[in-house]
Structure formats: C-alpha cells, structure tokens
Amino acid sequence: MKKTSTRLADGRELLYYDTADDRVRDAVDLRPLTPVATTSEVRYDPLLGDSVAIASHRQDRTHLPPADACPLCPTRPGHESEIPAADYEVAVFENRFPSLAGDSGRCEVVCFTSDHDASFADLTEEQAALVVEAWTDRTAEFAGFSSVEQVFCFENRGAEIGVTLGHPHGQIYGYPYVTPRTSLMLRSLQAHTGGNLFDEVVARERADGSRVVLEGEHWMAFVPYAAHWPYEVHLYPLRRVPDLRDLDDAARAELPCVYLELLRRFDRIFGPGQPPTPYIAAWHQAPFRHPLRSEFALHLELFTVRRTPGKLKALAGSESGMGAFINDVSPESAAQRIREVAGK
C-alpha cells in the first residue's frame, strides 16, 4: 500500500491510498475555498452521564446532490470536487462539515471507490483490503491525537439511514470521550466474573450454532441472542484483539472475503427485485487509554432498519423515549434467512 498526503485548497488534509507503490498523486485543488469554520462543541449531560456534540454549522452541509455534482467523485472538466485527482482507489479527507473538530475531536470521510454507482459490496477483495488498510492506518494516526479517546470507522448506506451523499463512502470519527455504547460494554466487562466476557459470548454463540451465519478460519459472524434490529450481525475475529491494528496477518487477509460476503447477503435478505438494503456498518474498537483496553474485543456490528419489504423499523416511543428496544424479528429466524441467501 502507498499513502500520499496532500492538502485541499482550504488546508484540510487529503490522503490517497493506492495498491501500486509507484502511483503518483500530484493533482492540485484549484477551488476558491475559504478556510473551514466550525462551531463544534461537546456538552456533558449530568443526568444521563453522556456527552452531546453541538455542531450547528452542519445545517449547511451538502444534501443529496445529483450524481453529476457529487463532491466525492473524481474531479473532471467542469466539475471540481473534494478529490482533485482524475481517478482514485481509496481517498480519505477531513470533513468540511465535521461533527467533531479541534479540541472536540476529528472527523474524516473515506471514499471506498471512485465509481459513483457502486457500493462496498461491489468491490473486489483487493479493493476491500485497501479500505481495511486505510481504516487501520487512520486508527493508528488518531491514536496519536491528544484530543481523541476513541476512533470509530463506520458506513451509513441508504437514504433510509439518512445519508446525505449517495457515493459509496464511510466516515471515521475520533471522539474526545468514550462513547456511551462502549462505556456500557466496558461496564459489563468489568462487572463480569470468570473469563473474558467477549470471549464467552463468542464461544456461547459458536457452541449453540443456531444464530451463526458465517464462520471462516479466523472470523465468525452471528446474529446476537438479544439483537436490537430486525437483521443484525456481529462479526468477531476468533483471536480477540482491541482494534484493527492488532489483527494478525491471517485474520487481516481473510477479512475482506468475509466482510464482502456479509454485505452481499444483506442485499439479498428481502428477495430479488428489492432495492439495496439500507444498513449501518459499525466497527467497535477499544478506547486508546482505558484501563480495560486489552480486554476489549474488536468487532463489527452490521444492521438494517428495514424489517420487511417496504417497511422500516421506526425508533418510536419505547426506543427513542426510553432506550428500550422491541425487535419484530426473532434472532433465530433472522439468522436462518441470512444463511439461506449465502452465495446466491
């Protein structure tokens, strides 16, 4: 992998990731951009014990532009974008409308491919491996930022999820605090007696087998026993590690194949003729400086808000008001469906 660092016209960092070591990236951003001005602020909620980012400047961010005006496509005559190059493999840049910035963290955009009409599931294993390398490299970079406690690599796919750009891309957030969901897992990990809680969850699912949807030599995917979402899959390396940097060569090599298979199955869940399945793909990594860091388990949570063709799982009163989820699909039947659509 070759990484090339450059700057956009307003000073934001842009990184190209290429499979070829001799690839030259010297295109210049010629747009007349003014420096980014943010109002990002993190406020603590004393009743809930969590934090909220206030980022009012994001009201003006780009929202579902037509394909010929996509800011994530390569630059071409008559269309200057966030990517000055005429093509690219993987590109990462600082978000112009960040939720977190400065002392309040950092936000980056990850463009998986220059092909506007593709999706992550359309990538080859080599292309997917390059994205994994970019995620890993950015995790290592964020670890050196004093303003970042935890890094989160994720993808929102589909208008139903709320994406504002249709081009295949994800984001990386560097939070200045440990997020609420991670804090809950760490609390459970600390309170657990016996062996490592993550290891026991994986071992229990593997032994039961009814919710396992895919197992490789180094990775296992299953629908969790208490799944929150209609179709939800968790993917774990069989050797526990705290974050992407700590994967061994064998697990890193197998990941693209396993991940692509999961994404392709998600697009088949609701049958032929249905639109692409909206999903969130969320990589959970250990906070950088937490005392239980070595006990945390890197894992992916992949889920969709679609519960059946044409119907979404709405976060209504119980979920939004009380944080108490009610799932309309049993985890066992969801797992069966995800197994049924393997390799079709």
Give the mean pLDDT of 132-145: 98
Query: 222 and 119 in one domain?
Result: no
CA distance 284 to 87: 31
**Each residue of 221-230: pLDDT tens digit?**
999 999 999 9
Query: 186 and 144 in one domain?
Result: no
Domain boundary among 176, 204, 239: 176
Query: 191 and 157 in one domain?
Result: no
List of residues 6+ apart from 171 with CB closer than 8 A:
95, 107, 108, 109, 110, 153, 154, 155, 156
**Each residue of 4-26: pLDDT tens digit?**
999 999 999 999 999 999 999 99
Query: 9 and 129 in one domain?
Result: yes
Number of folded domains that form the chain: 2
Which has more confidence, 152 or 62? 152
Query: 318 and 189 in one domain?
Result: yes
| Binding residue ranges for Zn(2+) | 70, 73, 116, 167
pTM comes to 0.96
Query: 108 and 161 in one domain?
Result: yes
CA distance 315 to 317: 7
Query: 225 and 195 in one domain?
Result: yes
User: What CATH number is given to the structural domain containing 254?
Assistant: 3.30.428.10
Token pair recorded at residue 297: 């388990």
Query: 187 and 130 in one domain?
Result: no
Q: Is 15 helix (H, G, I), strand (E, B) or coil?
A: strand
290 is in which domain, residue-wise? Answer: 181-340
**DSSP characters over 162-186:** T-S--SSEEEEEEESS--HHHHHHH
Domain boundary among 142, 176, 210: 176
Q: Which residue has the tokens 């998986």?
A: 112
Residue positions annotated with a catalytic role? 169
DSSP single-letter state for residue 9: T
Query: 165 and 69 in one domain?
Result: yes
**What confidence tier does 176 reach under pLDDT thresholds 50, 70, 90?**
very high
Query: 319 and 198 in one domain?
Result: yes
| Binding residue ranges | 70, 73, 116, 167
Query: 161 and 199 in one domain?
Result: no
User: Helix axis angle, 125-142 relative to 249-266, nearest 10°?
Assistant: 120
Token pair recorded at residue 237: 């390396």
Query: 172 and 230 in one domain?
Result: no
Nearest to 33 by CA among 14, 16, 18: 14
Average pLDDT of the chain is 96
**DSSP characters over 274-295:** PPPPPEEEEEE---TT-TTGGG
Amino acid (1-letter code) at residue 164: T
CA distance 148 to 146: 6
Token pair recorded at residue 203: 């071992």
**What confidence tier does 344 reach under pLDDT thresholds 50, 70, 90?**
low
Domain boundary among 176, 199, 226: 176
With beta carbons less than 8 A apart as the criterion, state whether 31 and 126 touch: no
**Each residue of 246-281: pLDDT tens digit?**
999 999 999 999 999 999 999 999 999 999 999 999
How much of the chain exceeds pLDDT 70, in percent?
100
**What confidence tier does 27 reach under pLDDT thresholds 50, 70, 90?**
very high
CA distance 154 to 110: 9
**What confidence tier does 57 reach under pLDDT thresholds 50, 70, 90?**
confident
